């Protein structure tokens, strides 16, 4: 029986090494001892068969290499070579701390470690803030790197700082800085080392470089530490670092634990780091099948903005916008994704578009479009603190009605947008009416989507700076062309609009809404072509409109002399006549001449000259200037 058992043991051991042959006459005690020796030797031989790597580990903000001691020890026990970098001014190097230490200092720390230790084929690993550092290291010495692992780490674009990534949230909240350093509760210098150390603010607002195409070709793993009571899917929707990793084709892994999971489960994190070395990037064409998945535009807390556009076959893509002095060339990555970061941009609402091989296109990732008959650019709103007047605030809001009416003048159905003030539906009061006309190639929606007329009026009414009113926004195209405003032919188009307004639009509005039917309670204003139409209709019908406003528009002396020879008469003058234009507007000179003409005829009016050109930024300002003046 003992002989049978000995043979069985020999067969089992042979499964570990088929080259072993045991004598069947070996005594059981000696046999067990030999088996143990061979099992140990087999385990060592199996461990030796694993590929050994060189790990360079970069810790997070305020920490040090000490934070990764346990994880590093596990990697060393597995036979790997491990370098736990401690960044200047932190950890055991805290005696070097200074407010002059920057992100670039820390990038130099790691690059010099790699160069002076003559390390090659390394697994570069960064945790938290360390993601910023290893990004810069990738850009500097990509030829020394085998694989990169971002452990719950920041993933920036080129030219971004960690402040750009997180803004006022988290540890980089400006209130946590004093004397050039970050001061946070977990920095406890009076406790026994190891402990966290205050860190220079320059580390957080200095941008990183990520331009090197060799660096962008490295295989990278992004690991998200996700607590067991949290949802990885929900985090993926909001984590911009995670989203960038996906867009670059990096391997995505999750690990159960908090932000310092390496302290909670050092063995598990070490194993994860070993497994990640075999990860390969997904071909980017498969990762980004359409630009609809891109985040564009991405407005950063410092008012810099990143724009992205997927166009693998394009030869050149430029960014064009009214916040730029000229088109800016975008950079293309190996997946055909074009991107650029510009700014900081002054707070306002701007139109922009891409120019792809000479052809203008809207941003397909941005649902906010500028309403126009022709090309429809995208729009971007750069927020301000305090918010600008066109920003939605927590105030009572009016409503927008999209209507249509039958035009006897043009013999067709025409669109109309009507703003009703807060409380209109719940009450019985009647209201004054502003007829607000947009410019050439604009539509009836432009004053809402580009002009934000409804939001501006909501805010002014809430501040009691404007009276509650109805605003009627018609489609200004009279289907008769748009002659230059300097020509007499322009008056022919203005006459058609006047007939449309007084014969169709005003009757429709007064029949369907609670309006005050009185000259003093009607106003008309317009931008560009709409300004010319407003001036013509207002001057022709002083019995219908007491207030007239022109935003970047004019009438020629010839048109005024022919159609309004008695404009200076007391009963023909508007109660309020308001004109505004920008210094850089291509219509500045004729608008200025119109101002001089009115002064020459002793026609009282208000005249405002602003910076800027023929833009909707100015149109919004002029509207905000005049709304408080109407119906007072």
Catalytic-residue membership of 128: yes
In angstroms, the CA 30 to CA 443 distance is: 96
Q: What is the CA radius of gyration of the chain?
A: 35
Provide the 10 A C-beta neighbour count for residue 285: 14
Catalytic site residue from 128, 339, 407, 438: 128
The three-state secondary structure class of 126 is strand
Q: Peptide bond preceding 610: is omega within 30 degrees of 0, i.e. cis?
A: no
- Alpha carbon separation from 521 to 398, 515, 517, 547, 553 (Å, rounded): 19, 9, 7, 9, 23
Distance CA 543, CA 545 (A): 6
Query: d(Cα 558, Cα 560) in Å, to the nearest integer?
Result: 6
Q: Is the peptide bond before 386 cis (omega within 30 degrees of 0)?
A: yes
* 3-state secondary structure (DSSP) of residue 504: helix
CA dihedral over 116, 117, 118, 124, signed as positive or negative? negative
Residue 550 burial (C-beta neighbours within 10 Å; 0-12, 13-18, 19+): buried
Whole-angstrom distance, CA of residue 183 vs CA of residue 524: 57
Q: What is the Cα–Cα distance from 328 to 449, expressed in whole angstroms?
A: 26
> Burial code of 320-344, b = ≥16 C-beta within 10 A, e = fewer?
ebbbeeeeeebebbebbbbbbbbee
* Residue at token pair 């390394």: 122
Backbone region of residue 226 per phi and psi (left: phi > 0; alpha: psi in -120 to 50; beta: other values): beta
| Residue 322 token pair | 């009214």
The span from the CA of 341 to the CA of 160, in Å, is 8
Per the listing, tokens 């499964």 go with: 15
* Eight-class DSSP state of 386: S
Sign (positive/negative) of CA torsion 236, 240, 242, 247? positive
Asked if 82 contacts 72 with a C-beta cutoff of 8 angstroms, the reply is yes
Residue 550 Cα distances to 399, 438, 595, angstroms: 25, 11, 11
> Which active-site residues does the annotation give?
128
């Amino acid at each position: 029986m003992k002989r049978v058992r000995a043979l069985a043991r020999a067969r089992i051991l042979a499964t570990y090494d088929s080259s072993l042959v045991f004598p069947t006459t070996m005594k059981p005690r000696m046999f067990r001892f030999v088996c143990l020796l061979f099992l140990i030797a087999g385990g060592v031989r199996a461990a030796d068969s694993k590929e050994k790597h060189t790990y360079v580990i970069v810790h997070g903000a305020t920490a040090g290499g000490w934070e990764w001691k346990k994880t590093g020890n596990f990697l060393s026990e597995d036979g790997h070579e491990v370098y736990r970098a401690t960044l200047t001014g932190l950890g055991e190097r805290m005696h070097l701390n200074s407010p002059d230490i920057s992100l670039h200092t820390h990038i130099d720390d790691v690059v010099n470690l790699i160069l002076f230790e003559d390390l090659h084929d390394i697994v570069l690993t960064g945790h938290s803030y360390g993601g910023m550092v290893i990004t810069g290291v990738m850009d500097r010495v990509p030829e020394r790197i085998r694989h990169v692992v971002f452990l719950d780490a920041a993933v920036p674009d080129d030219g971004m700082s960690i402040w750009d990534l997180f803004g006022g949230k988290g540890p980089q909240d400006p209130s946590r800085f004093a004397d050039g350093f970050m001061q946070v509760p977990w920095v406890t210098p009076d406790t026994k080392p190891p402990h966290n150390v205050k860190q220079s603010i320059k580390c957080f607002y200095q941008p990183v470089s990520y331009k090197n195409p060799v660096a962008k070709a490295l295989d990278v793993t992004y690991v998200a530490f996700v607590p067991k009571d949290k949802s990885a899917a929900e985090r993926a929707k909001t984590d911009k670092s995670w989203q960038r990793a996906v867009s670059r084709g990096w391997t995505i892994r999750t690990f159960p634990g908090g932000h310092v999971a390496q302290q909670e489960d050092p063995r598990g994190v070490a194993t994860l780091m070993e497994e990640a070395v075999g990860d390969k990037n997904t071909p980017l064409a498969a990762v980004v099948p359409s630009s609809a998945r891109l985040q564009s535009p991405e407005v950063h807390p410092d008012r810099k903005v990143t724009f992205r556009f997927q166009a693998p076959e394009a030869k050149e893509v430029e960014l064009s916008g009214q916040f730029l002095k000229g088109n800016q060339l975008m950079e293309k990555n190996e997946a055909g994704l074009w991107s650029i970061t510009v700014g900081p941009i002054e707070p306002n609402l701007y139109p922009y578009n891409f120019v792809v091989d000479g052809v203008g296109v809207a941003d397909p990732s941005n649902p906010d479009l500028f309403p126009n008959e022709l090309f429809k650019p995208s729009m971007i709103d750069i927020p301000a603190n305090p918010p600008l007047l066109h920003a939605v605030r927590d105030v009572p809001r009016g409503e927008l009605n999209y209507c249509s009416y039958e035009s006897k003048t043009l013999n067709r159905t025409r669109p109309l947008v009507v703003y009703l003030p807060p409380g209109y539906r719940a009450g019985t009061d009647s209201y004054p009416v502003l007829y607000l006309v947009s410019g050439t190639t604009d539509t009836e929606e432009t004053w809402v989507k580009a002009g934000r007329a409804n939001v501006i009026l909501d805010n002014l009414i809430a501040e009691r700076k404007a009276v509650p009113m109805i605003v009627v926004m018609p489609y200004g195209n009279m289907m008769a062309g748009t002659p230059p405003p300097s020509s007499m032919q322009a008056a022919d188009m203005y006459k058609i609009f006047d007939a449309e307004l007084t014969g169709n639009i005003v009757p429709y509005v007064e029949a369907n809404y609670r309006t005050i039917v009185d000259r003093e309670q009607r106003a008309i204003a317009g931008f560009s072509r709409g300004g010319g139409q407003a001036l013509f209709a207002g001057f022709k019908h002083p019995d219908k409109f007491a207030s007239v406003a022109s935003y970047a528009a004019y009438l020629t002396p010839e048109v005024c002399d022919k159609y309004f020879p008695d404009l200076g008469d007391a009963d023909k003058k508007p109660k309020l006549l308001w004109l505004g234009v920008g210094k850089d507007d291509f219509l500045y000179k004729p608008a200025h001449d119109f101002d001089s003409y009115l002064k020459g005829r002793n026609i009282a009016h208000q005249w405002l000259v602003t910076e800027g050109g023929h833009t909707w930024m100015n149109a919004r300002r002029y509207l905000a200037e005049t709304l408080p003046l109407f119906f007072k």
